Structure 1
Amino acid sequence: MRRAKADCTIAGMTSSHWPLFALRVSTPRLRLRVPTLEDLDALAELAAEGVHDPDVQPFTVPWTDAPPAERARGTLQYHWSEWAAWRPSAWSLNLVVALDGVIVGTQGVSAKDFAIRREVSTGSWLGRRYQGQGIGTEMRAAVLDLAFAGLGAEYALSAAFADNEASFAVSRKLGYREDGIDRHVVRGRPVVSRRLRLDRAGWQARRTVPVTIEGLAACLPLFGL
């Protein structure tokens, strides 16, 4: 019943000027989509519950250090700000991830000058109760299919702090290779992040998750294509 209600709500969000509302990326277990307000509310609740061990900060922007209510509100504001900032030359597509109709996290893919560079970056998080179930690998595989098969990307980039083994495990499964390091300041101390790069050949060699993409054709001009 909950899933049917969500689909009905999503179907009501249509716009000939913003076709991203109709974009769907699906795997055997997951459905990724541009969120409705109901979806964002569910995502905000997950953020308030916690995304990681409080003793560890896996993000370069430490948004999860905020109190629960502020984390929830900031989740909504972040998604709204990315919608408002969208340009074909610089876009950030942040999709909610639904498992059996329940929002479990978010998966993003972004790019600058994509039509020329053909390069995307990805980022994501899952609610703590949904971690360790292979969902992270499957949802990143979904947006990689969107990037490479749907949009014609040549490279996909990712990055994680040196101690974020869970993120590196996902990247290894999907064929990424080391691409150098960056240094950041997080919680007042220097932290090293490791960059990872996946090329088209590497993606094709490790492409094992079936992915279905719907509603992309009408969105292509928004991606600069």
Structure 2
Amino acid sequence: MSCLAISPHVESPRLRLRGPCERHLPRLAEMANDYDVVKMTGSMPYPYGLSDAQTLLEKAASLDPDREALFVIEQDAAPIGVLSFTPGPFGRCEIGYWLGRPYWGKGLATEAVKAALDWAKSDWGRKLILACHYADNPASGQVLVKAGFLYTGDVEPKFSKARNAEAPVRWMVWLA
């Protein structure tokens, strides 16, 4: 399997969001095999290996493009993370993302989220997107605030596969 043609391409000044390719898998697996990265996600295991990256590619190939999207975030043609839109609570769309540790603190997550939200609004027709972040990850909250999300005031436990435990998440909403 080469690159997925079903996923749209989204450009920003420093990044490209596109469907995953087989060639992305080794680098994604290497970056995601970092507990500090995956503990801030709900569904990623730790350790994270090449077979987990392959599962991501298979999942991307089976998405319903009317309800879901999955992008590899590239900088200079190299994968640096993943961003996805999935069905969330109350039938609403939820955004999630992660970046490899070398790319933290450079504004890249905010840039990727903003570009994806622009696409979701203009090309996908979404007017409301949900997000949450683990309460012990305030940096992710700042990414979402900078991208235009507002806190709902709801805090609830959410399971993290990497932690093998529930941890509190803070819910946010973005309105087009």
Q: Which residue in the other structure is 1:30 paired with?
A: 15
Contact 2:37/2:99 (<8 A) preserved: no
Shift of 1:140: 0.6
Q: Which residue in the other structure is 2:71 paired with?
A: 95
Q: Normalising to structure 2: TM-score of the pair?
A: 0.83
Contact 2:29/2:53 (<8 A) preserved: yes
Name the CA shift for 1:88/1:128 in 2 (closer, same or farther; >3 Å). Answer: closer
Q: Which residue in the other structure is 1:221 paired with?
A: none
Task: Tell which structure's C-alpha radius of gyration is larger.
Answer: 1
| One-letter identity of the residue aligned with 1:72 | L
Q: Which residue in the other structure is 1:184 paired with?
A: 158
Equivalent of residue 61 in structure 1, options 27, 36, 43: 43
- Residues 194-209 of structure 1: matches in 2 within 5 Å? 194-200=170-176
> In 1, Cα distance between the equivalents of 2:170 and 2:94?
14
Over the aligned positions, Cα root-mean-square deviation in angstroms equals 2.5
| One-letter identity of the residue aligned with 2:41 | F
Q: In the alignment, is residue 162 of structure 1 matched against residue 135 of structure 2?
A: yes
Q: Which residue in the other structure is 1:74 paired with?
A: 52
The C-alpha deviation readout for 1:129-157, integer Å capped at 9, x for no partner, is: 11111100001111101111111111011
Q: Normalising to structure 1: TM-score of the pair?
A: 0.67
SS at match of 2:53: helix
Contact 2:37/2:100 (<8 A) preserved: no
> In 1, Cα distance between the equivalents of 2:102 and 2:61?
28
Unpaired runs of 5+ in structure 2?
none
Contact 1:24/1:32 (<8 A) preserved: yes
| One-letter identity of the residue aligned with 1:194 | R
| One-letter identity of the residue aligned with 2:64 | R
Name the CA shift for 1:185/1:103 in 2 (closer, same or farther; >3 Å). Answer: closer
Shift of 1:93: 1.6
> In 1, Cα distance between the equivalents of 2:65 and 2:43?
25
Shift of 1:120: 2.1
Shift of 1:45: 2.5
SS at match of 1:78: helix
SS at match of 2:145: helix
Q: Which residue in the other structure is 1:108 paired with?
A: 84
Unpaired runs of 5+ in structure 1?
1-9, 201-225
Name the CA shift for 1:33/1:82 in 2 (closer, same or farther; >3 Å). Answer: closer
Shift of 1:185: 4.5
Provide the identity percentage: 25
Shift of 1:41: 2.9
Q: Which residue in the other structure is 1:204 paired with?
A: none
| One-letter identity of the residue aligned with 1:95 | F
Name the CA shift for 1:151/1:169 in 2 (closer, same or farther; >3 Å). Answer: same
Name the CA shift for 1:108/1:62 in 2 (closer, same or farther; >3 Å). Answer: closer
